[in-house]
């Protein structure tokens, strides 16, 4: 009726369709979901390999060769360089290579649109870098295929598993002031299974190598203390719920900022272990 009363008639305005912006750049969260429960072994298809999922990566062995998928990282790494990967890559994702330790390992980095990267490395003692890198490229293709097909698996953490532990909670107490620094604050890692407070790091995962060296009682648990460059590390384990024959690992490390770690660094690491380990279930 209103249109008939208006001498100019009526017109309708329709909004122009928005132009197609193309595929959305793929972020790590969109690709992998919750970082704390990724089954990294679901990204790797290697016939005949024995794969062990940990809380932050996947260790697979095939003969003399070891393939590791993970962990996730967000830091700047000067060893990461551009790489002309031949396979298909999702929008916003870059495949790069690492020049670190390239005499015995071939490492690729799948870097997502948000800057988070997934490292994949292949190591062996053959000296054949070309063969290692062929396997690394195949691992990249396997991971991207699983991601684009939405086949990323999830870990579950049964009752009693250290995968249920919030790792920053044991570090948030004054008993660690001497080892970590009195003004330091806990910062959670990307996977949600590690935490750093000052000079102290705490990681929970699944053991992938047999422990070495004598044990001693720290924090009420059997633990091993070892030096590794600038670090003194304390390890303890428990049977892994839901993974027969495997053990979960709690690792505490203290870094010596003035050079190589020694007895004084390990004294701080033992002190940290006595404060942290009693808080584990």
CA distance 25 to 113: 6
pLDDT band at 21, cuts 50/70/90?
low
Cβ neighbours of residue 222 closer than 8 Å, sequence gap 6 or more: 215, 216, 236
Q: Between these two residues, 194 and 47, which has the higher pLDDT value?
A: 194
DSSP label of 165: S
Q: Which two tokens stand for residue 260?
A: 């190589």
Note if the bond before 69 is cis, omega within 30 degrees. no
Q: Which two tokens stand for residue 239?
A: 């049977």
Is 15 inside a domain boundary? no
pLDDT of residue 169: 97
Domain ranges, residue 36 = 28-154
- In this structure, the number of other CB atoms found within 10 A of the CB of residue 176 comes to 26
Same domain? 89 vs 176: no
Query: Burial of 65 by CB count in 10 Å (0-12 exposed, 13-18 middle, 19+ buried)?
Result: middle
Q: Which residues pair with 13 in a beta bridge?
A: none
Domain boundary among 107, 126, 154: 154
What is the overall mean pLDDT for the chain?
A: 90
pLDDT band at 22, cuts 50/70/90?
low
Same domain? 211 vs 239: yes
223-275 confidence digits (pLDDT tens): 999 999 999 999 999 999 988 899 999 999 999 988 889 999 999 999 999 99
24-52 confidence digits (pLDDT tens): 999 999 999 999 999 999 999 887 788 99
pLDDT of residue 162: 98
- E strands, 140-220, where? 153-154, 187-188, 194-197, 200-206, 216-218
Is 16 inside a domain boundary? no
Is 9 inside a domain boundary? no
Same domain? 207 vs 90: no
pLDDT (average), residues 151-166: 96
58-91 confidence digits (pLDDT tens): 999 988 899 999 999 997 788 899 999 999 999 9
Q: Which residues pair with 123 in a beta bridge?
A: 66, 105
108-140 confidence digits (pLDDT tens): 999 999 999 999 999 998 888 999 999 999 999
Same domain? 135 vs 81: yes
- E strands, 112-193, where? 117-123, 153-154, 187-188
162-188 confidence digits (pLDDT tens): 999 999 999 999 999 999 988 899 999
CA distance 269 to 256: 10
CA distance 33 to 54: 17
Question: pTM for the complete prediction?
Answer: 0.86
Q: What is the CATH number of the domain that holds 65?
A: 2.60.120
pLDDT of residue 15: 47
pLDDT of residue 213: 80
- pLDDT of 103 > 90? The answer is no
pLDDT (average), residues 211-221: 91
């Amino acid at each position: 009726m209103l249109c008939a009363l208006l001498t100019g008639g009526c017109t309708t305005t329709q909004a122009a369709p928005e132009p197609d912006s193309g595929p959305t750049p793929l972020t790590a969260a969109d690709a992998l979901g919750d970082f704390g429960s990724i089954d990294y072994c679901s990204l790797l298809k290697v016939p005949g390999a024995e794969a062990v999922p940990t809380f932050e990566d996947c260790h697979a062995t095939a003969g003399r060769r070891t393939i590791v998928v993970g962990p996730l990282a967000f830091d700047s790494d000067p060893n990461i360089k551009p790489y002309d990967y031949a396979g298909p890559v999702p929008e916003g994702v870059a495949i790069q290579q690492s020049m670190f330790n390239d005499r015995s390992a071939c490492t690729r980095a799948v870097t997502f649109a948000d800057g988070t990267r997934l490292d994949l490395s292949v190591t062996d003692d053959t000296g054949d870098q070309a063969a290692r890198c062929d396997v690394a490229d195949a691992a990249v293709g396997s991971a991207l295929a699983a991601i684009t097909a939405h086949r990323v698996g999830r870990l579950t953490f049964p009752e009693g598993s250290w995968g249920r532990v919030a790792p920053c909670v044991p570090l948030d107490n004054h008993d660690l002031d001497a080892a970590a620094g009195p003004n330091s604050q806990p910062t959670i890692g990307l996977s949600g299974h590690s935490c750093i407070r000052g000079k102290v790091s705490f990681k929970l995962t699944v053991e992938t190598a047999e422990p070495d060296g004598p044990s001693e009682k720290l924090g009420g648990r059997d633990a091993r203390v070892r030096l590794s460059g600038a670090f003194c590390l304390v390890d303890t384990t428990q049977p892994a719920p839901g993974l027969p024959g495997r053990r979960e690992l709690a690792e505490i490390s203290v870094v010596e900022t003035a050079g190589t770690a020694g007895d004084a660094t390990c004294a701080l690491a033992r002190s940290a272990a006595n404060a942290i380990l009693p808080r584990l279930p």
